[in-house]
Structure 1
Amino acid sequence: MRRYLLPSILAVALVATGIWGYYQFNERNDYHTYLDLQFQRQFYDLIGHVENAQVDLAKAMVSGSTKDITKYLNDTVFQAYMAQDKLTQLPLNHPAIRKIERFLNQLGDYSTAMVNKSLEGILLDEEELNTLTELHSYINLLSQDLIELQQDVASGGINFGDLRREGNRDLGRLNDRMEKFNLITFEERVQDYPELIYDGPFSDHLKNIKPKLKGKEITEAQAIEVVQNTFKEENVRDIEVVGKIENTPISGYYLRGTRNGDNGQEISVAVSQIGGKIIWYLNPRTIGESRLGRKEAMEKAQKFLEDKGYKDMIPTYTSNYEGMSIINFAYEQEDVIVYTDLIKVKVALDNGEIIGLETEGFLINNHERDIEEPQVSEEAARERLNSGIEIENTRLAMIPTPGKKEVLCYEFKVRFGEDRYLIYIDANEGEQRKVLLLVEQEDGTLTM
């Protein structure tokens, strides 16, 4: 009897192992199917935002009303930035993608500059209209290229959910398809569009700016350690370097990892090669029903920055969309707000989790400044304001100029009628430097 007992036990164990393996196989397939559907949705949304930006830009170009031009250009800004956000969430690691990100950022920023000019009552000149025309032709090409790539990926049976695995042959097949299609030639074509000279963070005349970031050059292994140490509380594991970030103000390493507690949610991080600083962090998880208000989200973001070692960061403005809050923080030195030293934090409104971080503005510009006493008193600066406005708040701020310089200003937050504005008066020369309209919406405050 005993001689049959062991074979029986082994047979039962083998069957159990087979059942467990089959279950794990199905679980894995279900997970990759889920990822594939999520990434397909991101790709679909990306194309939608690119097409909307194309339409809004075309409407702005044919409008004869300054009010309509402002509206459609502002819509173009929103769609361009939303497209850029969707693009960063796709598991694509190709040089063309970085070029497209830069193009979308410049489209949004140039449109913002033209909105500001229109709001000041200044008509766009022929050169600026020609630039908008060229940008429209390029975004039209981009829209066609993305649709063609999506159709080819779908017909080729490539699963986006599988692209997260290093060495997956689908990734090579996708890169081969990208090489065949216009998405690569788009990268070459946009090299021809004109220099965009305007007062914005992605202005071409600032592309050669030398970052203030200092430190030793780190290795790939050290970059992994930086992510492990920085996101220890977030339980990031299985971290690996998947590429390098080059031809940008801050070169670095592109890494991916997995968060425990998020059903194996993949996250991506960029670490600077000099100094080993986090450039950006992204956790593109699905967000549930919003439960947090703006104040709670801001408190979560403030604590996150303090815990990560970013001191003296002051929240400025926020915007909410798709269940998340994006909060801008600026550096404060000697009670002066330094707007160039910018950090953006993205908070999920379902549970307050930090799902995004961008520090490039801070890393490029942050340094201890020699801030001298203003030559113009606050009272004298007030006299430069329109007598019909109501001043709500005043503080000193350092703002950027088109020529890579910074200027100390009095920032006056004022009300005129039903609208609020920020007016910047040079604290040394007494001249008006900038006027921004505050657009207060249910989902946040924007400046134009």
Structure 2
Amino acid sequence: MIRGIIIAVLVIGVAGTAFWGYQEHQEKNAILINAENNYQRAFHELTYQMDMLHDGIGATLAMNSRKSLSPALADVWRLTSQAHSDVGQLPLSLLPFNKTEEFLSQIGDFSYRTAVRDLDKNPLTDKEYKSLEKLYEQSAEIQDELRTVQNLVMKNNLRWMDVEMALASGKEQTDNTIIDGFKTVEKNVTGYTEANVGTTTFVNNQKKENNFKKLKGKNITKDQAVALLRKYSGIGESKDARVEKSGKGSEFEFYSVSIGNGGTDASMDVTKKGGYPIWYINNRNVKDAVISLNEASRNASKFLNDNDFEQLELFESAQYNNIGVFTFVKTIDGVRIYPDSIKVKVALDNGQIVGFAADEYLRNHHDRETAEPTISIEKAKGYTSPNLKVMEERQAVIVNDLNEEVLCYEFLGMMGKDTFRIFINAQNGQEEKVERLKSTEQLY
């Protein structure tokens, strides 16, 4: 009797385990099938977008009407964005494919910059037409390579999940048609980017970043970097000071420094050239607020002046828990230079500086000769919406969508219950940027 019960229990257990295993297997297969379908969709859409991109570039070459050229180039920009999105959905993170993405960025950047400019006043140059012709030829080669891979995928029922597993296991060197095809594309595109070096039409996304190239001063040592962090944090001598130098792949040289005294830990990245702090954080427990935002802003302003960050004006302030966050921008003769911005965090329990970020300032700050406006502020105001009730107005330098610094008239105004900041180009009256402010912070 007992033996029969035990056997029955074992049979039920085995059956239950088998059923559970079957369900797990089915669920796993469903996930794999869904992932494979998404990969296949992204790949075939990428191939289709490259077909359309090649046709779109060819169409722009055949156009003679500037009225048609701008929307055609805008469509090319749209297609490059979609192709970028499709590449991002493929399991290629472990496969070098950055040159192809960079090439797509170059096409998108060129087409966007050209589409948004006034082609009646500034038509395409012969050099730009030659660049378009080169892009047309190069996109045709990429199109052919992707079509070849697509044909093999469909003919041999190849799976993208095999690609993902091969890349994850480091076995991409083995024979894999998809991987080999994409490596061929990447190899060809590498040749394109090398051939395009020096072509001023193209603006590489990486070149848009100034990468701290405008910094002045001599190189500092690791000990000097530690001393700078001690100065900012107020932490005296401690045995656990740690300094790491940036790696070889870094776009600029810097030190990462961290120190602590038990109750407080502080960290900072500081440039090797000139010893400029990029960011600083003091990780300590901030108690209940005692000082006001107004007093904290004065502490932040004094901190910047004491550390040779001059001609900065408070632009925005906000309070998060017991910390005040302040944004300062460079101001020269009443003109705000928005690219030169610094953020400072102040603890409201004692007014100590607990955070600092000067990344934007260090990338963009340089000696400028600000152009004089060619239109009056009253004329510029006429380019804003008649429904906008202007409260403040000033001159400002901003970075527009073409990554160019432009002198603007800045208008801060109300429309209903919403607050907007509008920038009108001081040279041609073009509306460069419109921002809706989520909230305004009042100093107390």
> If the TM-score is normalised by the length of the shorter chain, which range does it land in?
0.5 to 0.7
The residue correspondences of 1:56-205 to structure 2 (distance < 5 A) are: 56-94=56-94, 96-119=96-119, 121-161=121-161, 163-164=163-164, 167-168=168-169, 177-179=178-180, 182-190=184-192, 191-198=194-201, 202=204
Counterpart-to-counterpart distance in 2, 1:140 and 1:364: 40
Contact 1:158 1:170 in 2 (8 A): no
Q: Which letter does structure 1 place at the counterpart of 2:409?
A: Y
CA contact (8 A) 2:330 2:340 kept: no
Corresponding residue for residue 25 of structure 2 = 25
- What whole-Å deviation, never above 9, does each CA across 1:402-437 have from its counterpart, x for those lacking one? 999856542479xxxxxxx96422xxxxxx288468
Give matches, 1:40-439, under 5 Å: 40-94=40-94, 96-119=96-119, 121-161=121-161, 163-164=163-164, 167-168=168-169, 177-179=178-180, 182-190=184-192, 191-198=194-201, 202=204, 206=208, 209-210=211-212, 338=338, 365=360, 381-382=376-377, 389-392=382-385, 396-400=395-399, 406=405, 409-411=408-410, 423-425=424-426, 432=427, 435=430
> Percent of counterpart pairs with the same letter?
19
1: distance between equivalents of 2:330 and 2:94? Answer: 39
* Alignment TM-score, normalising by the size of structure 2: 0.54
CA gap of 1:379–1:139, structure 2 versus 1, over 3 A, is: closer
Q: Deviations 1:264-305 (Å, cap 9, x if unpaired)?
A: xxxxxxxx9x999xxxxxxxxxxxxxxxxxxxxxxxxxxxxx
Is the 2:163–2:178 Cα contact (8 Å) retained in structure 1? no
Distance 1:98 1:246 in 2: 18
Counterpart position of 1:322:
none
Q: Aligned AA for 1:410?
A: Y
Letter in 1 for 2:180: E
- Is the 8 Å Cα contact of residues 211 and 365 (structure 1) preserved in structure 2? no
Change beyond 3 A, Cα 1:367–1:193: closer
The two structures have a TM-score, normalised by structure 1, of: 0.53
Q: How large is the RMSD of aligned CA atoms in angstroms?
A: 5.2
> What displacement does 1:25 show?
0.6
The amino acid across from 1:391 in the alignment is T
Please name the residue that 1:12 is paired with. Answer: 12
- Unpaired runs of 5+ residues, structure 2, are 215-246, 254-268, 272-277, 280-319, 342-356, 413-421, 435-444
Question: Measured at CA, do residues 122 and 377 of structure 1 come closer, stay the same or move farther in structure 2, by a change above 3 Å?
Answer: closer
- AA aligned to 2:198 is E
Is the CA contact 1:206–1:404 (under 8 Å) kept in the aligned structure 2? Answer: yes
Q: Distance in 2 between matches of 1:174 and 1:153?
A: 14
* Contact 2:211/2:363 (8 A) holds in 1: no
- Aligned amino acid, residue 55 of structure 1: D
Is 2:394–2:409's contact at 8 Å kept on the other side of the alignment? yes
Structure 2 counterpart of 1:390, one-letter code: Y
Deviation of 1:159 after TM superposition, in Å, equals 2.7
d(CA) in 2 for partners of 1:379, 1:66 = 27
Query: In structure 2, what is the Cα distance between the partners aligned to 1:5 and 1:211?
Result: 81
Q: CA deviation at 1:138?
A: 1.3
- What SS class does the counterpart of residue 133 from structure 1 fall into? helix
Task: State the SS of the aligned residue for 1:391.
Answer: coil
Q: CA deviation at 1:130?
A: 0.2
Deviation of 1:195 after TM superposition, in Å, equals 3.4
2-side partners of 1:183 and 1:9: how far apart?
60
Could you say what secondary structure the match of 2:123 adopts? coil
Going from structure 1 to structure 2, the CA distance change for 1:147 and 1:39 (only over 3 Å counts) comes to same
Conserved? CA contact 1:94–1:175, under 8 Å: no
CA distance change for structure 1 residues 45 and 161 in 2, over 3 Å: closer, same or farther? Answer: same
Residues 208 and 78 of structure 1, relative CA distance in 2, 3 Å threshold: same
> Residues 378 and 402 from structure 1, CA distance in 2 versus in 1: closer, same or farther, beyond 3 angstroms?
closer
Question: Are the counterparts in 1 of residues 100 and 190 from structure 2 also a CA contact under 8 Å?
Answer: no
Separation (CA, whole Å) in 2 of partners of 1:169 and 1:247 = 22
Q: 2:210, 2:363 within 8 Å by CA — same for their partners in 1?
A: no
SS at the partner of 2:384?
strand
Indicate the SS of the match to 1:390: coil
